[in-house]
Structure 1
Amino acid sequence: MLPMHRAISTAAVCLALGAHAGAQTDQTISVRHLQEPGTDMRNSHYVSNRPPLEPSRLIKLPIGSIRPQGWLAHQLRLQADGFHGHLMEISPFLDTQGNAWLDPKGRGERGWEEVPYWLKGYLNCAYVLNDEQMIAEAHRWIEGALNSQQDDGWFGPDEGRTGLATKLRGRDDLWPNMIMLYCLMDYHDVTRDERVITLMQRYFRYLEKLPEDKFLVGYWPKIRAGDQLAAIHWLFNRTGEDWLLPLAEKTHRHTARWDEGLIDWHNVNIAQAFREPTQWWVQSHDDAHRRGAERNWTQIRQMYGQVPGGMFGADENCRPGYDDPHQAVETCGLVEEMLSDEILLGLTGDMVWADRCEDVAFNMLPAAFTADMGALRYLTAPNQPVSDAENHSPGIQNGGPMFLMSPHRHRCCQHNAGHGWPYYAQHLWYATPDNGLAAVLYSASTVTARVGKDTEVTIEQQTRYPFGDTVRFNVRLAAPAKFPLYFRIPAWCDDPGVRINGQVVKENAQPGQLLRVERQWADDDRVELTLPMQVRVRTWEANHGSVSVDRGPLTYALDIGENYRRYEDAGAQNKELTDAQVAELNRTWPAYEILPAGAWNFGLLPEEPIRVEERGAVAEGSPWTPDASPIVLWAKARKIPQWKVDQHGLVGALQDSPAFTEEPVETVRLIPMGAARIRISAFPVAGSDSSATTWTEPKQTFRKQFNVSASHTHETDTATAAADSIVPEHSGDRVISRHTFWPNKGTLEWVQASFDKPRRVRSVSVYWFDDAGDGFCRVPASWTLSYREGDTWHRVATTDEFGVYKDQFNTVTFEPVYSDALRLEVQLQDEFSAGVLEWKVE
C-alpha cells in the first residue's frame, strides 16, 4: 500500500537560532517534516503545471542552474571524452552524409531512433559541462530538426523512414519524433528559441488531425507514448492552449494500457513506460492513475526483481522462470528507469522515487561502462562474474556478445545511454511550489536559482555522498531573504541530524520524508545534514534466502579481481569500413572482455561482523573502480564448491540458503556494486550444519543431437540452437535460443546437420521460428531435404508434404538413407527472413 501523500507534521516548530558572526543575531525558524511539498501555492519563478493539471509537487530547474562538482562532474567529463562524446567517429548512424535528420525534406538514410537517442544525451552532457564545442555540434542536429518542418506540420525524417527493429515506415512511426521532442524541449530550456514552440504547436496540430486508425500505430509508438504525453503537457504549461488537452487525452487513449498493469515484458519498455498512468493522473485527477506507476514498479520487482541494484531480470524480455540474479538488464533500461524516477519525483513529490533513482545510478549504471567510459555492454546483472564476448543464450535471452564491453555495437544502448548522468545532474535540486528549493539527490554541486519574492540564491553543496554521510550547504545571498529549503531524508536513514550555523535543529523527520526549513537566510549561512550510514544485510526471501550487503545507498559486491583482455570489435555495425579504418578504430576505441582474476563462489556468513574501511576522500578521478572506492567492507565467507558456471557460461542459479559447505572461513573484500564490473552482489548464506542445503552442480552442457552449420546465422543467434533438444512452446518462443537467417530476406538458404559418422535416417521434423506481430521472421515459403553421398547432394525420396506450419513440428518421412549429413534447403518468403528453433532427425 502506498503512503498517504500528506504532511505528517502540520504544526511548525519555531526555534530561535543564534546566527553566525556578521549575520542577524536572532532568527525565527519554521521546521516541518512532510511526505511531499504542499500545493497551496504555485511557484512564481519557474514553469510548472498550470490548471486544470494537477499542481506540480516539485519543479525542474532550468538547465544550467545546477553545476555538478566532484565525482559527478568527473563522470560527465569522462562521458564527453569517451565513446559517447565521440560517437560521430564510431557510429554509422551518425554519418552526416545523406542523413535524414539533417535534410530539410526529411529525405535520406538513418532516420530512426539512433540520432535522437544520441543527441538526447550528447546535448545535455554539453549543457551541463558548458562545453562550447559540444554545444555547437549538438545545435547542428537541432537545427536539422527545426528546419525540417513541412507545411502540414510534420517534422523529421519523412516518407521511407524505417529502422532495424521496426516494420513501420515513414510517418506511421511517431516513436523517433518523441525522442527528438525531448531534445528540442531541452534546447528551448537553455536558449528560449521560440522556433521550438512554433514547431511543437504545428506538429501537435498535425497529430490532432490524424485519424484514429492512423494515430500511434505500431509496437514502439503505442508502448512508449507516455513520452508524447509529457511533451504535450510541457507545451500546454508554456502556452496554455486548451486544444492541447484533448490531444493529451487522445494520446493516453491510444497508449498501451499501462494503467491496467504490466502489459509488456521488454525491459526498456517497462523502465520507460511504467510511469504513464501517473503522467496521465496529472490530467485525469484519478487517484488510481496516480497509484498506477507504483503498482507497475512493485509488480515487476515482485516477479523478476528480488535482487539488489534496483532493477529486474529482463535480458531483452522478462521470461517465466528466469528470475535469478544472473539475469541482466539493458543499459538502456537503466537510464530510462532513472529518468522515469526523476519525472515521477517531480509529479508526485514522493521521495521513494529519489531512493529508487539512486539505487540504479550508484549500483548499476557505473558498472555498465568501462571506468573510462570508453565502452559499454548491452547487459549488466547483479551476479556477473564474467563479461566476455561469448554467446550466453538462452541463459540470457539475446544471443551474441551481450556482455562484451564495446563502443562499436549494442546499437540502441550505444546511442541512448548518454542521458543517464546528465539528467541525473539536472535533478539534484528542484524548485518547490512555495518558491523554495529542495535538495533531493545529494552530490557535490552548486545551484543558482530564484527563491522567495524574487531573490537569486547560490547554494554550494559539499559532500562525499554516497560514500560519506555528511552533506554541507553554504548559502550565498546578496541580501537576506526568507524562503524554505527542503532536505530529503533517505529511506535507509533512521537517525538524521541537521545543524544550522552550528546549532542543532531538532525535528523528528522520518526515513523517506522531506525536512522543510523556512527562515530568513543570510549570506554564508551554513546547513549541515548528517545521514548516518549503517551496514545492513538484506535478505531476499523470495530468491532462495540470498543476501546482499548495504551501507547507506550503496550495495556492496565481492571484489573478484578483473583481468581486461582487448577484443577487436570495430566494424561490428559498419561493414563498409576499410581494413585500415577498422584497424584504426580498434586502436583508438578498443573493446574489452573482463575475466575473473579470483574465485567468486562465496557464501556469506552474515551473522559475523562486517568491518568498514574508510580510505579517505573521494579521488579526483572516478570512484567507480575497485581500487579507487573510498569505502570498502570486509566480511566473513566460505566457498561453496558446487556453485559453478552453468552450461550457458553464466554463474549458476542460486539454490536455497543456507548452502552447505565445509570450506574454511575466509575474509573477503566487498566493494561498491557500481565499482564492480564483474561481481557477486546476491550471495548465498554459507552453512555447515544439518539444516543447510547441499547444492547441486549446474548442468555444464546441453544434449546436442548433431553438429549444425548454416548458410547464414545472425550474430545474436546460434545455429547450434537447432539441435539443442529444447522443444519450443510456440514458433515465437523467445525464451529459448534460436537460429535465424536475419537480415536475409527472400533468399535461398540452407541449414546442415553433420553426424560424427554415417547413420541411417528416415525422417526429420522441423520447428520454424516466426515472430509475426513484432518482427520480420516468418515460416519459409518452401523447403526441401537433401542427403550427402560422397561429395554429392541428393534429394530424399518422399511423397510427404514439406510443411511450413507454425507452432508445431513439420515432419517429413522418406525412404531411408545412409549418410553423414543432411541439409534443409529453405526458400524464404519475399520481404521476410526465417529461422529454425529445433530440428529432430530419426
Structure 2
Amino acid sequence: MLSSHFVLGALLLASGSVVAQTGLAPKKYITLPLGAILPSGWLRDQLILQNNGLAGHEHEFYNYVSNTDWTGGTSAYSSLEEAGSYWFNAMVPSGILVNNQALNSKTQAFLDYVLSHQESDGWLGPEANTNKAKYLWGRYPFFFGAIQLTEVNPTLTDRVVTAMHKFVQLANTMLKNGQGLGDGGWAQTRWEDFVIALQWLYDYHPNGNEALLIDTMERLKWTGVPWEKVFSPDLFPKTATEGIRNPTGYGLSWHGVNMAEGLKALPATYRFTHNQSDLTAASQGWDLLFQYHGRPSGIYAADEYLAGLEAIRGTELCLVVETMFSGSYLYQVIGDLKFADRVERITYNALPATITGDMWSRQYLQQENQIASQNMNPNPFPNDGAYSNVFGLEPNYPCCTVNFPQGWPKFVTNSFLATPDNSNLVQLYLGPFSTTTTLASSNKVTVNVDTIYPFSDDLTVTINAAKAYTHYVRIPSWVVGGTIAINGATAKAVSPSNGLQAVPVAAGTTKFVLHLPAQITTESRPHGSVAVQRGPLHYAYDIPRTTTVLKTNSQQPLAKDLQFKAAGPWQYAIDPSTFKFVNTPPTNGTLPSPVFDSGKPPLSITVTACLINWPTAGDTFAASPPQSPACTGAKTTITLRPFGSTKLRIAEFPVMSA
C-alpha cells in the first residue's frame, strides 16, 4: 500500500505545485574542493594513525571490501549496496589529505572499475547485467566519493559526470515506476544523500538537465520519509523508543543512523522548494534530538533506535560520523553557530572515545558511563547484541568498520568555507589546518593555523593574500573573555556577529592571535547527576583497566577484539565546587601520538570525590547514578581527563550529599 505521503507527493508532482520557483536556492557558504584544506600538527597525525590502522588496511583482508581487482564475490564492488560505497566515500579523502599513494591508487582503481562496468541503461553496481534486484541507496555514498575525486583530479570530471547523468535518467524512471526503494527502508530514509549529489550536478555540471535533476530531487523527497513530520514536536519521541509505536508510520526514521543522515534532508529540500519552513523544521528537529536524546560528548544516544538520556545507553559509531557530516551541511545552508559548535564537540569527544588510540579496534556502541567493554550479560541495549561495546574489527554489525573513516577527513574538508560570491573565507572549525585556495578576482590565499587546540586556548593564524578580503573565524559559544590581536597590535575583546569574528585582511601577510578561554561548567543530567565541560572538551574519570584479547583476525593480527574490565574503583560522587583546571603544555609544543589515549592529553580537571554505594547490573554496566549519595569513605581528589582519551569511564557523576 502506498503511504499518504507518497500519494500526496504524486498529486503535487502531477499538478506541478512543488516545482521549484527558479533553480536551487544558494547555500550560505560553499565548500572548498578536496585537497584545498589540509590537516597539520596533531590532526594530521590522527589521519596518519587512521591510515596506518584498521581503516587504511581493511581493504587488504576484511571480507566486505577486500579484493585486489574488485571482482570477487566479496569484493567492495559487489558490496556496492553498502560496504563498498561506505569504504570508497571514506577512503578517498583519507588518502588524499595525507598523500597516501597506496590508498589513492586503491580508490582510483575502485572508481575505474565501477564506471567501466556501468550497465547500458545507466545502472552502477554489481547488479548490472544480472537478475539481482536493484536498490538505489547503496550508490549514494559512492557518488560522494566520486565527486571528491573529481575535485582533486578534474580530468576525471567528464567520466564521472557522464556516468552520473546516465544513472539519474534511469533513477528518475525507476522512481516514477515505484522501483528501487524496496531495500527494507534505507532508500526511503536516506534519500537526502542522493539529493545532495544531484545538487552538485545542478550547481556545477547540469549539462542541460536542470529540469530532470529537479524532478528527481522532488520524487526522492515525496517517495521518502517526510522528515518535517518526524521533527514535529507533537510526534518526536521524548524518551527511549523501545516499545513505542512511531506515530509517523515511518518506523525506521527513529533509527539512529537514519536520523543522523536525515538531519540533512530538510536543508537539502529547502534548496529546491525555497520554503523557509524546511529550514525552521530542520533547526527544530536538531534541537529536539539533543534535548531528549543528547549526550554531554556532543552526540545523541541510539543503540539502533533513539535511546533517551540514560548514561549506559549506546551510541553507534556510524551515527557519530554521519552526524558530523550532517551538522557541517546544516551550517553551510543555515549558518547557525549551534551546528558548528556541536560538530566540533562531537569530533573532539565522541569520535575518538569509541576507537582505540592506535585505531586498530572500534566499538559499535559507546556509553557515557562505560565500566566494562565486554560481552555483556545482562545487556543494556534492547536492539543490539551484547558484544556491541567491545573494541574490535566487527562488534555487532560491520557497517561502522567501513564507514567510520569518513569522520576525521570530512571534518578537515569542511573546516574552511567560502562565501557564496567566493570573495571571502570562513574559518569554521578550530584546530591545526592549512588551506590554499583562489578566491574571486584571482585572489590566491594561503592560511596556516598554528595550534594544538582543543588542547590549548590559543591559535595563531597567518594569512598570505594576493588581494584584500575579509577573513571570518568562528568564535565558539563557550568562549568567555576571548581576545584577538592582529598584526602585533594590542589584544582586543572578540566581537563576533552570528558567531563569526571578521578580520580585515590586506594584500600581503596578515597575522592574528586568538585567545579563546572557557570556564569549567556542569551540565545537568538524569538522576541529579552532572557532566563536566570546559571549552570544546567533555571530561570523564578514566577508569584503570585490564585488557584481554578475545579474538585475533587470522589474516591481520593487528585487528583484534579487545575486552576491557575495570581494574580499580569507579563508584565516585563529586563536589562540583572544587574543580581545578590543570594545563601541562607539551615541552616542545608537540602532542604525544596517539593523543586520544589514556593519560596523553595535556589538559585535566581535578575534583574532590568520594566512594559511594553505586550498584551494577550483573558485572557489566553501572546502574543509574544514585541521587545525593552519602560517602562511604574518605574524600579524595580524582583527575578527570578529556572524554575522547578514555575507553572505560564515568562521565555523568552523582553529586555527593552535603
Could you say whether these structures have the same fold, taking a TM-score greater than 0.5 normalized by the shorter chain as the test?
yes
Q: What corresponds to 2:346 in structure 1? A: 360
Contact 2:392 2:561 in 1 (8 A): yes
Q: Give the AA of the match of 2:657.
A: G
Secondary structure of the equivalent of 1:464? coil
- 1:91-490 matches, cutoff 5 A: 91-96=62-67, 109-158=78-127, 170-171=133-134, 173-192=135-154, 193=156, 194-210=158-174, 211-214=176-179, 216-218=181-183, 219-240=185-206, 241-243=209-211, 244-262=213-231, 263=250, 264-305=253-294, 307-319=295-307, 323-409=309-395, 410-434=397-421, 435-477=423-465, 479=466, 481-490=467-476
Confirm whether residue 630 of structure 1 aligns to residue 609 of structure 2: no
Residue type of the alignment partner of 1:470: D
Match of 1:82 among 53, 70, 73: 53
**Which has the larger Rg?**
1
Q: How big is the shift at 1:591?
A: 2.3
Q: Secondary structure at the match of 2:139?
A: helix
Deviation, 1:254, is 1.2
Q: What letter corresponds to residue 138 of structure 1 in structure 2?
A: T
Separation in 2 of the partners of 1:567 and 1:83? 17
2:112 is paired with a residue whose SS is helix
Instruction: Give unmatched runs, 5+ long, in structure 1.
Output: 1-48, 163-168, 571-581, 689-842
CA change 1:426–1:300 in 2 (3 A) is: same
Please give the per-residue CA displacement for 1:408-438, whole angstroms capped at 9, x wherever unaligned. Answer: 4441001111100110111121112341111
Identity score, percent:
26
The equivalent position to 2:522 in structure 1, one of 518, 521, 537, is: 537
Report if the CA contact (8 A) 2:85-2:138 is conserved. yes
Q: Equivalents in 2 of 1:226, 1:298: separation in Å?
A: 20
CA distance in 2, matches of 1:330, 1:537: 25
Secondary structure of 2:616's aligned partner: coil
> Which runs of structure 2 are paired with 1:618-657 in the superposition (5 Å)?
618-641=590-613, 643-647=614-618, 649-655=620-626, 657=627
**2:542 and 2:647 in contact (8 A); partners too:** no
Gaps of 5+ in 2: 1-19, 232-249
**Offset at 1:652?**
0.9
How much has 1:150 moved relative to structure 2?
Answer: 1.5
Map 1:35-46 onto structure 2 (within 5 A): none
1:484 alignment partner, SS class: strand
Q: Are the equivalent residues in 2 in contact too, given 1:216–1:225 (CA < 8 A)?
A: no
Change (3 A) 1:512 1:559: farther
Aligned 8 A contact 1:53 1:283 in 2: yes
Indicate the structure whose relative CO is greater, using CA pairs within 8 Å and at least 6 residues apart.
Answer: 2
1:348-747 matches, cutoff 5 A: 348-409=334-395, 410-434=397-421, 435-477=423-465, 479=466, 481-504=467-490, 506=492, 509-510=495-496, 513-523=499-509, 525-540=510-525, 543-570=526-553, 582=554, 585=556, 587-616=557-586, 617-641=589-613, 643-647=614-618, 649-655=620-626, 657-688=627-658
**Following the alignment from structure 2 to structure 1, what is the Cα–Cα distance between the partners of residues 620 and 579?**
33
Q: How far, CA to CA, are the matches of 1:621 and 1:505 in structure 2?
A: 33
Q: 1:196 to 1:654 in 2, by over 3 A?
A: same
| CA offset digits 1:283-338 (Å, max 9, x no partner) | 21211101222222222222222x3111222111125xx53111011110100010
**C-alpha distance in 1, partners of 2:450/2:608?**
34
Q: One-letter code of the match for 2:178?
A: D
Is the 8 Å Cα contact of residues 548 and 682 (structure 1) preserved in structure 2? yes
State the distance in 2 between where 1:475 and 1:534 align.
Answer: 30
Q: 1:249 to 1:110 in 2, by over 3 A?
A: closer
Q: Deviations over 1:326-363 (max 9, x none)?
A: 10111101000101111112112222111110111111
3-state secondary structure, aligned to 1:632: strand
- Taking the aligned partners of 2:310 and 2:507, their CA distance within structure 1 comes to 51
Amino acid at match of 2:83: E
Q: Distance in 1 between matches of 2:76 and 2:644?
A: 42
**How far 1:564 moved relative to its partner?**
2.0
For 1:399 and 1:678, the matched residues in 2 are separated by 19
Partner of 1:813: none
TM-score normalized by structure 2? 0.88
SS in 2 for 1:213: coil
Closer, same or farther in 2 for the Cα pair 1:356/1:512, shift >3 Å? farther
In 1, Cα distance between the equivalents of 2:494 and 2:316? 40
Which amino acid is 1:68 matched to?
Answer: P
C-alpha separation in 2, matches of 1:396 and 1:553 = 31
The verdict on how the C-alpha distance between 1:50 and 1:469 changes in structure 2, with shifts beyond 3 A counting, is farther
Output one character per residue of 1:247-304: Cα deviation in whole Å (capped at 9) or x when no partner.
1111111120112124522111111112211211122121110122222222222222
CA distance in 1, matches of 2:28, 2:493: 22
Secondary structure of the corresponding residue to residue 383 of structure 1: coil
User: Residues 793-812 of structure 1: matches in 2 within 5 Å?
Assistant: none
| Distance (Å, rounded) in 1 between the aligned partners of 2:133 and 2:652 | 46
* Amino acid across the alignment from 1:425: V
Superposed displacement of residue 68, structure 1: 0.6
Task: State the alpha-carbon separation in 2 of the partners of residues 198 and 680 from structure 1.
Answer: 52
Alpha-carbon separation, structure 1, partners of 2:117 and 2:21: 30
Name whichever structure is richer in helix by fraction: 2
Report Cα offsets for 1:437-488 as digits up to 9, x if no partner.
11111111211011352121111100111011111111224x4x11110010
Alignment check: 8 A CA contact 1:547 1:683 kept: yes
Offset at residue 131 of structure 1 (A): 1.4
Native 8 Å contact 1:58 1:433 kept in 2: yes
